[in-house]
Amino acid sequence: MQFNLVHLFKLVTRDYFKYVKYLFIFLSLVPFLILSWQFYTEQLGINPLAYLTKVTGHLVIIFLILTLLITPLKRISSYLMTKYQLKYGKRLADWNWIIKLRRIFGLYSFYYACLHLAVYVWFDQGLEWEYIYEDILERPFIMVGVISFLILLIMAITSFKVLIKKLKKKWRKIHMSIYPLSILCLIHYWWLSKTIESELILYSILTFLLLLYRILVWTHIVRIRKDDTGMEVSTRHKVPLNHKVIF
Amino acid sequence: MAKTLYPKVNSSEITDESIWLSRRAFIKTTLSTALISTSGSLLSKELNALKSPVLRLPKHGSLTKYKDITRYNNYYEFTSDKKLVHHYAKELKTEPWTITINGEVEKPLTFDIDKLLGMMSIEERIYSLRCVEGWSMVIPWNGFPLAQLLKMAKPTSKAKYVKFTSLLDPEVMIGQRRPILNWPYTEGLRIDEAMHPLTFLASGIYGKDILPQNGAPIRLVVPWKYGYKSLKAITHITLLEKQPKTTWVDANPDNYGFYSNVNPKVSTPMWNQRKEVKIGEVRKKRTQLYNGYGEQVAHLYKDMDLTKFY
Summarised one tens digit per residue, pLDDT across range B202-250 is 999 999 999 999 999 999 999 999 999 999 999 999 999 999 999 999 9
In sequence order, which residues have a C-beta less than 8 Å from that of residue A31 and are 6 or more positions away?
Answer: A55, A59, A112
For residue B282, the model assigns a pLDDT of 74
User: How far apart, in whole angstroms, are the C-alpha atoms of residue A186 and residue A52?
Assistant: 18
For residue A228, the model assigns a pLDDT of 58
Q: Which domains does chain B have, with CATH numbers?
A: 61-297 (3.90.420.10)
Residues in A closer than 8 angstroms to B76, CB to CB, are 195
Average pLDDT, chain B: 85
Residues in B closer than 8 angstroms to A140, CB to CB, are 269
For residue B123, the model assigns a pLDDT of 93
**C-beta separation of B64 from B214 below 8 A:** no
What mean pLDDT do residues A118-126 have?
90
Residue A15 confidence class, pLDDT cut points 50, 70, 90: low
Residue A163 confidence class, pLDDT cut points 50, 70, 90: confident
How would you class B124 by CB atoms within 10 Å of its CB: exposed for 0-12, middle for 13-18, buried for 19 or more? buried
- Is a pLDDT exceeding 80 seen at residue A2? no
For residue A92, the model assigns a pLDDT of 56
Question: Which stretches of chain B sit within 8 Å of chain A by CB?
Answer: 68, 71-72, 76, 80, 82-83, 133, 135, 180-181, 251-252, 267, 269-272, 274-275, 277, 279, 282-284
Sequence letter at residue A133 = Y
Residue A80 confidence class, pLDDT cut points 50, 70, 90: confident
For residue A42, the model assigns a pLDDT of 83
Q: Among residues of chain B, what percentage have pLDDT more than 70?
A: 82
Residues in A closer than 8 angstroms to B180, CB to CB, are 195-196
Residue A43 confidence class, pLDDT cut points 50, 70, 90: confident
User: How far apart, in whole angstroms, are the C-alpha atoms of residue B223 and residue B290?
Assistant: 8
For residue B2, the model assigns a pLDDT of 37
Choose between A6 and A45: higher pLDDT. A45
User: How far apart, in whole angstroms, are the C-alpha atoms of residue B290 and residue B224?
Assistant: 5
For residue A127, the model assigns a pLDDT of 87
**C-beta separation of B284 from B77 below 8 A:** no
- Is a pLDDT exceeding 60 seen at residue B57? yes
Query: Tens digits of per-residue pLDDT, B188-200?
Result: 999 999 999 999 9
Provide the shortest C-alpha distance from residue B190 to chain A (in Å): 25
User: How far apart, in whole angstroms, are the C-alpha atoms of residue A127 and residue A145?
Assistant: 17
| B156 three-state secondary structure | coil
pTM of the model: 0.78
Report yes or no: A42 at the B interface, CB cutoff 8 Å: no
By C-alpha distance, which of B257, B286, B310, B147 is closest to A126? B286
How many C-beta atoms lie closer than 10 Å to residue A67's C-beta? 24
User: How far apart, in whole angstroms, are the C-alpha atoms of residue A236 and residue A47?
Assistant: 51
What mean pLDDT do residues A113-127 have?
92
User: How far apart, in whole angstroms, are the C-alpha atoms of residue B236 and residue B163?
Assistant: 8
